[in-house]
Amino acid sequence: MQSYTEENYLKIIYHLSVISNPVQTNAIAERIQTKAASVTDMLKKLADKALVDYTKYQGVNLTQKGKLAAINIVRRHRLWEVFLVEKLNFKWDEVHDVAEELEHIKSNLLVERLNEFLDFPKVDPHGDPIPDKDGNFESLGFVKINQLKDNESGTIMGVSEHSTAFLKHLEKLGLILGKTIKLIEISAFDSSAELLVDQQYINISKELAKHILIKKLV
C-alpha cells in the first residue's frame, strides 16, 4: 500500500509519461509544487518499492506495478469528479481540488459502489476516459480540433488541459462538452482555427485547438 504522498507522485509521473519518456525530475518537481531534491528522494523510495525504474540523471518510468497503482488513482479521481458534477452540482472547473483529496480514500468497496451508483460512467466531466478496475481504458477514438480536415464536423467530447483558466475561457467561448462544431479552415499564417459554432464563426488559437477533443461525425 502506498502513502498519500507516494500516490501523488505515481499519478503525476503517470500523467507526465504521456508527454515524455522517461519523466524528468524537474518536470515532477514543478507539477507537484516541490523542489527537485525532494523529488530525487522520493524517486529512490519508489524505486525501492519497485514502483518505478529509476536511473540517476536519466529520469523515471513507471513499472507495470507502478502503472497499475497510478491508473487506479486516476480511476478514483475521475469517478469522484463525475459524482461531484452529476450529483452535487459542482461546475467542471470546481471539481479538481476536491477530487484530488477524495482520490486517496482507500476502500475498494467504496469505489465499486460509487461506480455502480453513478451507473458505470465511461468518461469524467472533462471527457477523460475512466479506466476499469483492471486498468483498461475503452478506446474512444477522439481527435484534436487541429487534426480535423477543413469542413469536418464533430462533437466536443473532452479536453486535454485542465487548468481553471483554460476551462473558464472555453466556457466563455461557448465551447462546452457536447457542443457540435465545424472546422472551416486552419490559417496558413498562424495555425489558428476558424470554427462554426451555434451558427457563429469564431477564431481560436492553435494552443486552444490542440487541447479540445472531438468525436467526428460519421
> Do residues 163 and 92 make contact, with C-beta atoms less than 8 angstroms apart?
no
Stretch that binds a second copy, among 9-17, 99-107, 144-152, 158-166 (CB under 8 A): 99-107
> Do residues 62 and 51 make contact, with C-beta atoms less than 8 angstroms apart?
yes
**Residue 65 in contact with a second copy, rule: CB under 8 A:** no
> What is d(CA 181, CA 175) in angstroms, rounded to the nearest whole number?
9
The least distance separating a second copy from the CB of residue 76, rounded to whole angstroms, comes to 12
Residue from 1, 18, 19, 56 binding DNA (CB under 7 A): 56
**Residue 137 in contact with a second copy, rule: CB under 8 A:** no
For the chain, first and last CA: distance in Å? 45
Residue of 126, 6, 130 lying closest to 66 (CA atoms):
6
> What is d(CA 84, CA 25) in angstroms, rounded to the nearest whole number?
33
Q: Count residues near DNA (CB under 7 A).
A: 26
**Residue 120 in contact with a second copy, rule: CB under 8 A:** no
For helices 36-48 and 4-19, what crossing angle results, to 10°?
100
Stretch that binds a second copy, among 21-29, 101-109, 143-151, 206-214 (CB under 8 A): 101-109
In the complex, the residues that contact a second copy under the rule CB under 8 A are 84, 87-90, 94, 97-98, 101-102, 105-107, 109-110, 113-114, 116-117
Q: Under the rule (CB under 7 A), what is the footprint of DNA?
A: 3-6, 24-27, 32, 34-45, 54, 56-59
